[in-house]
């Protein structure tokens, strides 16, 4: 499973759960914007959509795994990771996410955990390709923390 497949497989109730993560505030606007992000394979057009709808609820979704909502957590975390990878998300830090979400990711079903691992690997590969050899991330350290 890849991120696009996960996002497109989200049910209406799973999408509604994500859209309502800000205590239900602006649920309809978040849902419409979330549907747009899903159609764009998880990429957020911050210029067109701004950073509020739906990224606010996506951020809230990636911040904490709620029992019974593993797919929603993985979708939110995956969207943030995809936008870090593409350079669209400049406010999140991969190292911080790895540190903060380690335990939650370990609780995911194997297929979702493997998806998170592959998204991390994509970011690290892109980072290494862009950085000079001495300036790239310490992949071994990141992998030990995540896996």
Average pLDDT over the chain, rounded to an integer: 89
Q: Report how many domains make up the chain.
A: 1
Instruction: Considering only residues 114 and 126, tell me which one the structure prediction assigns the higher pLDDT.
Output: 114
CA atoms within 13 A on the CB side of 145: 14
Tokens linked to 104: 């939650």
CB 22 within 8 A of CB 60: yes
In degrees and rounded to multiples of 5, residue 28 shows phi and psi of -65, -45
Host domain of residue 68: 3-146
Specify the pTM. 0.86
Spatial separation of the C-alpha atoms in residues 133 and 141, rounded to whole Å: 16
Spatial separation of the C-alpha atoms in residues 59 and 131, rounded to whole Å: 27
pLDDT interval class at 50 (50, 70, 90):
confident
């Amino acid at each position: 499973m890849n991120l696009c497949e996960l996002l497109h497989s989200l049910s209406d109730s799973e999408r509604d759960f994500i859209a309502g993560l800000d205590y239900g505030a602006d649920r309809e606007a978040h849902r419409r914007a979330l549907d747009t992000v899903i159609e764009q394979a998880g990429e957020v057009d911050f210029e067109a959509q701004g950073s509020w709808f739906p990224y606010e609820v996506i951020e809230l979704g990636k911040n904490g795994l709620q029992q019974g909502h593993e797919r929603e957590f993985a979708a939110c975390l995956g969207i943030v990771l995809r936008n870090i990878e593409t350079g669209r998300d400049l406010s999140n830090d991969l190292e911080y996410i790895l540190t903060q979400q380690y335990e939650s990711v370990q609780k995911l079903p194997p297929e979702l955990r493997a998806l998170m691992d592959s998204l991390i690997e994509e970011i690290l590969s892109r980072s290494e390709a862009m950085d000079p050899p001495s300036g790239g991330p310490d992949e071994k350290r990141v992998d030990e923390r995540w896996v």
